[in-house]
Structure 1
Amino acid sequence: MNKTNTLSNNNNSTILTNDLEKDNSDILQKSSSTSSKGVELTWSEIEVSVPYGKTRKTVLKGVSGIAKPGEMLAIMGSSGAGKTTLLNLLTNIDQTKIKKSGCVRVNGKYLTVKEMRTISAYVQQIDVFAPRLTVLEQLTISAKLRMGRKCDKLKKEETVERLLRQMRLGDCKNTMIGSPSTQKGISIGEKKRLAIACELMDDPKILFCDEPTSGLDSYMAFQVVTAMEHQAKFNKTIVSTIHQPSSEVFYKFDKVCLMANGKVAYFGPVKELTKFWYSISNTLNCPPSYNPADFAIKMLSNSDDSDQVTVDNRIQMITEAYEKSEYCNLIIKSVKEINTQTAIEDEDNKISTEYAASFCTQLQLMIWRGFKTLSREPMLFRTRIVQTIFTVSILVALYWNMDLNASTIQNFQGLLYLTALQLNMFLFSTAFTLTSELPLAIREYKAGIYGLWPYYIGKSLSEVPQITLLGIIFSTTLYWSTGLHREIYSFIKFATVNTVTINTSLAFAHMAACIFFVEEHTMLFLCALGYPLVLFAGFYMRSPLIPIYMKPLEYVSFYQYAHTSILANQWSNIGHIEGCISPNQTITPNSIERYCQYSTGQEILERLFLFFKIVGGVALYIRGRLMK
């Protein structure tokens, strides 16, 4: 049975390899005249320390290396060996708490963080996508954002089709990506190949991958690494951490950098690893039937329950032998030669630090993605519709066609207060939809794909139509069923105030999500602030009676401005109420004329809407800059 499975996997692997080779050979022939020269990535004498309690711990100790175009470099090591730290250093990811020395250069030239991100792509271990987009839609929007103004529409479409073929995604191109928490979609292996395809969209010179085979079975892992291998044929420099590769996957790489206790245990051709270790000691001889990658990790870790002192001594023996070897001398010599030569400055290697797509294109695509996501969230829309209908049904049943007289004034006051209050019903669901997307937005912003302002504005605009529609349904049903002042102008004003209020509530939720970022923290903030917002809405206590030290909470409550506006709309046009006042008097509620600098509470709501939006956008921008 095992033999049959092995033969099947080998046949599949051969088919995959042949297909990709045929596809790539055609493309290479077409692009050979314009192909990039590629870039050489070097790092020398890297020392890195991180906080460790009240002291610091050195996690990289004098590490040097080189990654060349057209080759795949695997960085391997046991847990805590320093491989992830080295990859993060090369990609300029998560550098906030570390102290480092040494240098990282490209073609002998120091690059800024922004320049490095412009010529490189980083496939992270955890794949994050908009789950409601299809594979084809994800690649299409990625092409428009990453290729931007430098390519025409036909070139973008050709690139999408080519990557669909190269990454073997044609069969699932119309399938929604999905996510573990929302819905089923494409497989983990397909998601990983999609992530690589997106990163290859703008033809980066360097491709970094963080454990691209993690969580995949042997065949899926082979598919992913084979796709990476064929991208190297386009003169790309590929650097990848790798975890427990099969021997078949391991030998796909050209070079391997083995890490142990922050030092290099071997840096050289994959096929010469066992030979070098055997030259150090007979105890390091890899058995013929043993996976060399597994054997290497076993010798550099405590996986065989050896005494820790014995393991440390063995690691020290290996690292010292490497430092004295020709492999190490060759790496150091090559790094020095590259670092002293003049950096290549041809058209292909000129670096642009601008976004590929214009601000308007970014905004348009973010609106489109937001609409697509909402339109494919039927449960969210149904829940909001049911919530709206249920709430308005309760109010209509309670206040059905009331007559206006002295005995029902308080009823109308209660109805108008509840109207303002119920317009926050979508506060929490709106905050959740944003907090669930922010990790994707921050990741793509850090990758230089688009700015945070286009994303934030686009996300906000995509939410407005649905929320506004629900507000209009609520206002129309309630107004004409409960005996409110039946005049078309008053109805338009009532619906307008409610629409502004519900969008202000939306802006407030977005602001909270951008400030606190994490869903639990955002919900806690909204719950905590919800009570004073309701308390100071103008129904439970008149404004003149509120203590001076509590006044700030009154001004923060946007419900009071909504309450003020709909009170004015209801009562300002009524000259006489039976059994209440004489015909020549007009009711002017105390709350209507409190804010002399604005003519209506609606104006204040509109300004609060803009204020919340601006604060939310600034908070998101600051957080993005701090995390970049």
Structure 2
Amino acid sequence: IFKFVYNAAFAIIVGTLFLRLPDTTAGAFTRGGLLFFALLFNSLTAQAEIPKSITGREVVYKHKAFAMYHPAALSLAQTVVDIPFMVLQILVFSCILYFATGLERTAGHFFTFVLYLFVGCLCLTAFFRLVGNISPNVDIAHTLSGICLLFMILLVGYLQPPKSMHPWFKWIYWINPLAYGFKALMCNEFRSLRLECTGANLIPGGTGFADISNQVCTLQGARSGQSYVLGRDYLADGYEFYVDDQWIDFVAVVCFWIFFVAAIAAVMEFIEFGNTGYSINVFKRRRPKVDAYTEETIGNATDKEVAMYKNIPPTGPTDEQILAGTTFTWKDIDYTVPVKGGERQLLNAVSGYIKPGTMTALMGSSGAGKTTLLDALSQRKTIGKLEGEMLMNGAPQPRSFRRITGYCEQLDVHNPHATVRESLRFSAALRQPDTVPESEKMEYVERVIYLLGLSDIADCLIGDPDSGEGISLEERKRLTIGVELVSKPKILFLDEPTSGLDAQASYKIVHFMRRLAESGQTILCTIHQPSAMLFEQFDRLLLLVRGGHTVYFGDLGHDAQTLVRYFERNGAAPCAPTANPAEYILDVVGSKTSQVDWPQVWRDSPERDQTMAEIGRINELQRSGGNDHGSADDDKVYARSYMFQTKLVMRRMFVMYWRNTEYNLTRLALQVMCALIVGFTFYRLNDGAVDLQNKVFAIFECSVLSILVINQVQPEFLRQRQYYGRETSTNQYGWRAFAAAIILTEWPFSFVTNTVFFACFYWTVGLNSITDRVGYFYISYIILGLFSLTLGQAIASFSPNDIIAAMFNPIFTAMIILFCGVTIPYQQMPKFWRRWMYWLSPYHYYVEGVITNDLHGSEIKCRQNEFFVFSPPDGKTCNEYAGDWVSSAIGYLNNPNATESCEYCSYKVGDEFYTSLSWSFNHRWRNIGILLGFIVFNVVFTVVMIRIYKVNKR
């Protein structure tokens, strides 16, 4: 639906911009621009296939491993499914665009246009899907697609006709599917057109020049003595396109599509990227010097920490231990969420408590509300209505609750470019109070590393489990727990800590949790169908059923006998001696044939009365115990100041970016390749009239390159936002620190890559070599790069994922390119768009500034084949016949004293070219200021969206 809506919206915008194109020579180039943009927009839209191809890759590999189907079959199925949706998409787009712009209104022309556009879109969709499938990650995919797209646009035959292409790139034109699609569309439109030569296109013009035999039309394809140009002649002379070849071009596009589809099937069938079943540890080159922490060095530790290491058996918390530790109680917790037509209750009057030195399991069938309750108790819920009483140490939860408690999520979200030690140090530095010396925090990190058994991999990069590089899944689980432990949490919440692990790894994690509990830690943990060995590690159980109803809360007892006796006493079948108590109770409460209303049984049971009484006793004990658990730090949402947060987050992010070589090298490679491609496509331009146009197109391509920059920065922004979502949920740092870091960290890298582009591009094309002109172009391009960077981040800031961001990109980029004044000049725009959208296009200010900067004061000298030739009346020289007209117009006569074949050059100086576009050299520095204003707007918008966008909606 989203695709249909924005396709229709874009068709309306383009259709009204190119509204009712005239059938004259004045609209010939603009008509070609319309067809080019129709094809280009669908090409940019097809780029959304890249993240789709990479995102679902792991699922395909898993299905292939299970021999469910051949991946090649999936690729063919995707292609078949594309067809009906794309037919509707192209029909909607074409019906609006075609008739609004006044293209040839015959059934044959229209349906041929639809067919060519449909096949071209199919072909490009398959091409970008192939790029995604042959790329190991999204960074390489965007770089590869960007280089290919730039080649396609440059060598499509519109900005530079095939006859003007240099031989070292012209061969690419013949293997460019976009070029064949564009040729077919142009031939279909121009094959029967007759373009009347009017206005400035007929020279000499004005009063006194009525004899067509002494005039010439300035459009390529003009014939002497004709006041019109045939469309087929315009294509043949200007582009070397021949209308008789249009169906050959159509077949070529179809062949490309078939080739791409076959290549996708082969790649998906035989090539796999990422994890091969094992992981490789990658260590940091320079490891920090730290003191090894062993059993012999714990003499200065507190009794609580010693107990961690010595594995003291649990004796159960006494009142003194309760007062010394942290208790947490919840009473009558109700939670409802809005749904269509009303509300749905997910938790229903849930009550319970956790004490120091104990492990409480939270269990239930799928959909019972385990994670929902854990999120509610740990203050992670961002939507819905939460009611009930939650008290920590007998008092309401302080503002610092999320920071002083630990929450280990089910998914282990870590920055892959950080080491284990760096992740732990980062958490400790931001979550422990600033009253604790940094040296003490770092020492505690080393203790946790030893405790977790992570000493051997402390300086190993965390990596990505899908890539096969980095620490193992079980080590990631331990790291997740460690990130919370280094904050010295008063309560530890864990959501499915054993998910995705084998039996041995699961036992290690649960046994470690047991050791934490024995040291006095308060633990609440959701767990799904544990083995009997794991289940017996817990002290207490809270059991839920669908609807968020409690069916049991209390001690497990030895071998879970207390739990089993409760259910047997209330009507459940006896538990077999060899049965797993955890599976037994889940079967009992989940049985569809059971006649027992277990939630009602619990509500009527003495065990519930005991639970409510114990909740009251614990809270009263805390209030009357005289031990003040609170501190001034409890009222602080964040432990550290904003400046410290920003400094630490920015330093960490810069290091992570520096280590992300794939991201940086692909960005640099894209800039270098694009600079060389554009530079050698428009190699060493001189002062001719055609080269003047080519300079404009070369500079215009720099703005097109910014589209590729937008595509590149978004995946990294979204990855960093994912890490921010986890870290901000524990109040490590605020949105201001993240916004400053994610925006400013990119700028040095952008400066370097744009400088490299400038060095490779500027002198290769042969732009103005005057020092101040060189400096202005450099400054402008650096600012354009920053604008593209900030625009990409702004779009990503309101997008939930990179697929949605990739779908938004064509709308924004096409809009600002369309209205920059190159493809359709300011004077030819309809008044509606000319009055506001032209002035809102940032590229207009960039293009105007750099083009006037380059052309101002430059003398134009037409080559021999660039002159327009007309014949004066008998007995008159060229100057006598057209001298007055030339003096009031632009351009010059090359042979004013000749009596035949007058040679007229369209421009005398570069200023004459850009003056006709309503541009001015005096606007250069004003335009720089306006571009900076657009950057400020992008930055402010990004910051606002970071502030209001909920990364993890729960």
Identify the TM-score tier after normalising by the shorter chain.
Answer: 0.7 to 0.9
Q: What is the RMSD computed on CA atoms of the aligned residues? A: 3.1
The residue that corresponds to 1:169 in the other structure is 454
> Does residue 254 of structure 1 match 2:539?
yes
What is the CA-CA distance between 1:47 and the residue it aligns to?
A: 3.0
Q: Which structure 2 segments of 5+ residues have no match?
A: 1-292, 308-320, 863-890, 894-906
The residue that corresponds to 1:451 in the other structure is 734
- Out of 718, 722, 727, which is 1:439 matched to? 722
- The question of whether the paired residues in 2 share the 8 Å contact of 1:89 and 1:95 is answered with no
- The question of whether the paired residues in 1 share the 8 Å contact of 2:424 and 2:483 is answered with yes
- Tell me: CA distance 1:106–1:348, structure 2 relative to 1, closer, same or farther (3 Å): same
- Out of 583, 587, 605, which is 2:911 matched to? 587
What is the CA-CA distance between 1:182 and the residue it aligns to?
A: 4.4
> Does residue 206 of structure 1 match 2:491?
yes
Match runs of 1:295-374 below 5 Å: 295-302=584-591, 308=592, 310-311=593-594, 313-314=595-596, 316=597, 318-340=598-620, 342=623, 345-346=628-629, 351-374=634-657
The residue that corresponds to 1:376 in the other structure is 659
Query: TM-score, normalised on structure 1?
Result: 0.87
- The question of whether the paired residues in 2 share the 8 Å contact of 1:355 and 1:450 is answered with yes
- The question of whether the paired residues in 1 share the 8 Å contact of 2:404 and 2:487 is answered with no
- The question of whether the paired residues in 1 share the 8 Å contact of 2:418 and 2:462 is answered with yes
- Out of 283, 301, 306, which is 1:27 matched to? 301
What is the CA-CA distance between 1:555 and the residue it aligns to?
A: 3.1
- The question of whether the paired residues in 2 share the 8 Å contact of 1:150 and 1:356 is answered with no
- Tell me: CA distance 1:32–1:217, structure 2 relative to 1, closer, same or farther (3 Å): closer
- Tell me: CA distance 1:404–1:106, structure 2 relative to 1, closer, same or farther (3 Å): same
Q: Deviations over 1:561-581 (max 9, x none)?
A: 211121132123x25444656
SS in 2 for 1:420: helix
Aligned mates of 2:690, 2:368 — CA distance in 1: 79
Q: Deviations over 1:206-231 (max 9, x none)?
A: 11111111121122112212222222
- Tell me: CA distance 1:90–1:401, structure 2 relative to 1, closer, same or farther (3 Å): same
What is the CA-CA distance between 1:259 and the residue it aligns to?
A: 1.8
- The question of whether the paired residues in 2 share the 8 Å contact of 1:278 and 1:284 is answered with no
- The question of whether the paired residues in 1 share the 8 Å contact of 2:797 and 2:945 is answered with yes
The residue that corresponds to 1:274 in the other structure is 561
What is the CA-CA distance between 1:407 and the residue it aligns to?
A: 4.6
Paired residue type of 2:713? T
- The question of whether the paired residues in 1 share the 8 Å contact of 2:633 and 2:639 is answered with no
What is the CA-CA distance between 1:95 and the residue it aligns to?
A: 4.6
Aligned mates of 1:224, 1:560 — CA distance in 2: 59
Give the count of matched residue pairs: 597
Identity of aligned residues (%): 26
What is the CA-CA distance between 1:543 and the residue it aligns to?
A: 2.3
Match runs of 1:20-419 below 5 Å: 27-29=301-303, 37-51=324-338, 54-97=341-384, 99-111=385-397, 114-147=399-432, 149-261=434-546, 262-271=548-557, 273-278=560-565, 280=569, 283-302=572-591, 308=592, 310-311=593-594, 313-314=595-596, 316=597, 318-340=598-620, 342=623, 345-346=628-629, 351-419=634-702
The residue that corresponds to 1:606 in the other structure is 932
What is the CA-CA distance between 1:42 and the residue it aligns to?
A: 0.9
Query: TM-score, normalised on structure 2?
Result: 0.58
> Does residue 619 of structure 1 match 2:908?
no
Aligned mates of 2:325, 2:355 — CA distance in 1: 8
What is the CA-CA distance between 1:241 and the residue it aligns to?
A: 0.8
- Tell me: CA distance 1:599–1:380, structure 2 relative to 1, closer, same or farther (3 Å): closer
> Does residue 553 of structure 1 match 2:877?
no
Aligned mates of 2:800, 2:600 — CA distance in 1: 47
The residue that corresponds to 1:563 in the other structure is 847
- The question of whether the paired residues in 2 share the 8 Å contact of 1:20 and 1:166 is answered with no
- Tell me: CA distance 1:193–1:625, structure 2 relative to 1, closer, same or farther (3 Å): closer
Q: Which structure 1 segments of 5+ residues have no match?
A: 1-18, 303-307
What is the CA-CA distance between 1:283 and the residue it aligns to?
A: 4.8
- The question of whether the paired residues in 1 share the 8 Å contact of 2:298 and 2:306 is answered with no
- Tell me: CA distance 1:276–1:24, structure 2 relative to 1, closer, same or farther (3 Å): farther
What is the CA-CA distance between 1:512 and the residue it aligns to?
A: 0.5
What is the CA-CA distance between 1:443 and the residue it aligns to?
A: 2.3
SS in 1 for 2:434: helix
Q: Which has the higher contact order (CA 8 A, sep 6+)?
A: 1
- Tell me: CA distance 1:55–1:406, structure 2 relative to 1, closer, same or farther (3 Å): closer
Aligned mates of 1:380, 1:137 — CA distance in 2: 21
Aligned mates of 2:295, 2:611 — CA distance in 1: 31
SS in 2 for 1:449: coil
Aligned mates of 1:25, 1:225 — CA distance in 2: 27
Aligned mates of 1:95, 1:299 — CA distance in 2: 33
Q: Deviations over 1:479-523 (max 9, x none)?
A: 122221112222122111101101110000000011123211111
- Tell me: CA distance 1:20–1:40, structure 2 relative to 1, closer, same or farther (3 Å): farther
- Larger CA deviation: 457-466 vs 123-132: 457-466
Larger-Rg structure: 2
- Tell me: CA distance 1:595–1:408, structure 2 relative to 1, closer, same or farther (3 Å): closer
- Out of 767, 770, 777, which is 1:494 matched to? 777
The residue that corresponds to 1:533 in the other structure is 816
- The question of whether the paired residues in 1 share the 8 Å contact of 2:380 and 2:729 is answered with no
Paired residue type of 1:514? S
Aligned mates of 1:487, 1:133 — CA distance in 2: 46
Paired residue type of 2:945? A
What is the CA-CA distance between 1:615 and the residue it aligns to?
A: 0.5
- Tell me: CA distance 1:617–1:391, structure 2 relative to 1, closer, same or farther (3 Å): same
- Tell me: CA distance 1:297–1:25, structure 2 relative to 1, closer, same or farther (3 Å): farther
SS in 1 for 2:544: strand
